[in-house]
Amino acid sequence: MRSLPLSQIRLTDPFWTNWQKTLVDSTLPAIYKQLEETHRLSNFRRAAGLEEGGFEGKFWFDDSDVYKYLEAAAYGLAIKKSPVVRKQVDDTISLVLAAQQPDGYLNTFFQLKHPDLKYRNLHTMHEMYCGGHFIEAAVAFAESLGEKKLLVGAIKYADHLLNTFGPEKRRGYCGHEEIELALIRLSDVTKQAKYRELAHWMIEARGHSPSPYIEELADQESHALSPWARGMLLQQERYTGEYFQDHAPIREHDKIVGHAVRAMYLYIAAADLAADAADEKLDTALETIWTNLVSRRMYVTGGIGPSSKNEGFTEDFDLPNLSAYAETCAACGLVFWGQAMLQATANAEYADVMERALYNGALAGISLTGDKFFYDNPLESRGTHDRTPWFGCACCPPNIARLIGSLGKYVAGVNDSAFYLHIPVGLDVTTRLGGVNTKIEVKSNYPWSGEIEITVSPEKPTDFELLVRIPDWADDVSTDLVNSEDEADYESGYVRFARRWKAGDVVKVDFGIQPRWVESDPRVRDNLGRIALTYGPLIYAAEEHDLGFAPQLLSVDPELEVEVTESDILGGIKLLATEAISEREDFVEGLYAEVGTTGVRENDAKFIPYYAWNNRGPNSMQVWVRKG
Ligand code: FUB
Ligand code: ZN
């Protein structure tokens, strides 16, 4: 199964069309402004010789933010014309190409600051990570807009890599995975196998002892760029490599470890390797890692990587709420990896996770206004968290931007004889099915309503399968193939209609969205005695703004009715409300007293979607509330 080219799919439901409009009108200009103000664009000007000065900025991978912005802008411009974004993008592309060396190398940190140290500190310095994002931006322009200017530079860059690394050349791979998946995308768009081969070789090279990173430590001069890295590389002077997923050859990985974003990006590329070689051992390894992640190490929001220490994974069931790191990039990465696994298997379980991460853990990373961002996404706040316009390490803003822009790639999939609706958003698609040009229109007001209507219009009657995912949370689904006696069957989490279609055939599906309380595996100690409220794909949270007091004081009874009401707050969310008890904060006896001293009162507790929290300023918030 493959995703649809963005030129063939348009999202039409109010929820996502609003986010995509916000992307073009607000997010992209806001990110561009930050790129300029934080010298990220000046670095390119300086490397191009258009301006005097050296590298400015806190991080050696600042270039990657410029590329991720470009990638998001390519998607945005395919959705909506904007002369402002167009001009900013054209200027940026010119700068990037002007900064590239004649031999294809491009990295403003090294060009401006350490020209003699290129590729000598692969473990920390992110050169190929930046290059990977350069390639992804170029591919996005080629695929979404048919513009190849940046692609010419990206090919030159990839050829430079091919001349430097590989089986007969140097054994080297980047400490932050990304180049692998980017080379695969480049292969797809150029139809040149050599880029995919290099990507696959890098995945295979990883995790074998001795790691090239150990040898790099002996290079005093390049090691001086990242003296702190010694502690990450060596534990009691022993190399473990887990942080970079360099701890074992890929087929021996049996759980998710290390830095979360790195892991996601590696396994996206590995899914391609597995599919390419029909490699059962690798399939099994990927399934095992995935299962470990989603059944023991993922927040209910689809956030992943609980710890700020390694920006990544710790132990099974270690999912603290208040200190959750759950980086926005990691949730985006989970959507991306979920899609790669889904395309390889057509198993709806991957789409369940994609949907969870998309509507919750990833989307919480951006404000409703599109110009403020979260880096970490806790499931509880005591009023100290607040989205900001930018970060010193600014990976998250352009990552959520590129996900929103490219959403059409994640919600549906096709092969020659089947159309898959993974996430029931509203959309218009024109594609070839059963050898015939076919229009598919999905009318939907998801996630606020579970009722959708699919109209299928092939140019002439044709046979193909229409598959609609039954979400894991849906327990009362009805389907209706209007004016037909044809039966549907079920396959790997999808309801399937396999038949001859003619223009105007209609399928109606009702996913029966109702508020539902969920609980966790008791081994997640932080959630013991707690429950979380959901509505379709959305995880809800209680915020002090709606309660008038901190949600930590609440206790709710899951047996009581949850009322659903339309609202015009927070962009028109559905509010959920239930009767609840809360402790009064009028404890006057000192710090400790007899049980029963604390008074309680009855409240009407309102809940809002988690993604929409902190849009009315900082305040206390909780996803897992006490069960009373
Ligand atoms: O290192 C590049 C990016 O910055 C990572 O993906 C994020 O976790 C942050 O460290
Ligand atoms: Zn990030």
pLDDT digit string (tens) for 375-407?
A: 999 999 999 999 999 999 999 999 999 999 999
Say how many Å lie between the CA of residue 190 and the centre of ligand 1. Answer: 28
Give, as one character, the DSSP assignment of residue 392.
S
How many alpha carbons lie under 13 Å from residue 236 in its C-beta half-sphere? 0
Whether 137 and 70 have beta carbons less than 8 Å apart is answered as: yes
The residues pairing with 158 across neighbouring beta strands, listed in sequence order, are none
- What six digits make up the tokens of 470? 């039954």
Cβ of 98 less than 6 Å from ligand 1: no
Nearest ligand to the C-alpha of residue 226? 1
d(CA 96, CA 106): 9
First to last CA, the chain: 46
pLDDT, tens digit, for every residue of 511-541?
A: 999 999 999 999 999 999 999 999 999 999 9
Predicted local distance difference test score (pLDDT) of residue 560: 98
The DSSP code sequence of 567-614 is -SSTTTPEEEEEEEEEE-S---S-S---TT-S-EEEEEEEEEEGGGTT
Predicted local distance difference test score (pLDDT) of residue 237: 85
Percent of the chain predicted with pLDDT > 90: 95
The per-residue pLDDT of the chain, averaged, comes to: 97
Which range, of 58-67, 119-128, 227-236, 423-432, averages the lowest pLDDT?
227-236
Nearest ligand to the C-alpha of residue 176? 1
* Minimum-distance ligand 1 atom for the alpha carbon of 327: 8
The DSSP bridge pattern shows strands 620-622 and 538-543 to be antiparallel
pLDDT, tens digit, for every residue of 273-295?
A: 999 888 999 999 999 999 999 99
Ligand 1 atom 6: the closest Cα is on which residue? 261
Kindly give the interhelix angle for 149-164 and 179-190, rounded to the nearest 10 degrees: 120
Whether 350 and 298 have beta carbons less than 8 Å apart is answered as: no
Nearest ligand to the C-alpha of residue 311? 1
Whether 438 and 459 have beta carbons less than 8 Å apart is answered as: yes
Quick one: how far is CA 65 from the chain centroid?
15
The CATH number for 2-411, chosen from 1.10.10, 1.50.10, 3.30.1360, 3.30.70, is 1.50.10
d(CA 624, CA 552): 9
* Domain boundaries for CATH 2.60.40 within the chain: 416-510
The DSSP bridge pattern shows strands 462-469 and 418-421 to be parallel
Bond into 551 cis (ω within 30): no
d(CA 401, CA 76): 9
Predicted local distance difference test score (pLDDT) of residue 258: 97
Predicted local distance difference test score (pLDDT) of residue 291: 98
Quick one: how far is CA 401 from the chain centroid?
10
* Domain boundaries for CATH 1.50.10 within the chain: 2-411
Does this model's pTM top 0.95? My answer is yes
CA–CA distance from 180 to each of 39, 195, 273 (Å)? Answer: 28, 9, 10
| Rounded mean pLDDT, 107-134 | 98
Query: Tell me: domain 416-510, CATH 2.40.50, correct?
Result: no
Say how many Å lie between the CA of residue 252 and the centre of ligand 1. Answer: 25
Looking at the chain, how many residues does it have?
628
Say how many Å lie between the CA of residue 519 and the centre of ligand 1. Answer: 31
Cβ of 261 less than 6 Å from ligand 1: yes
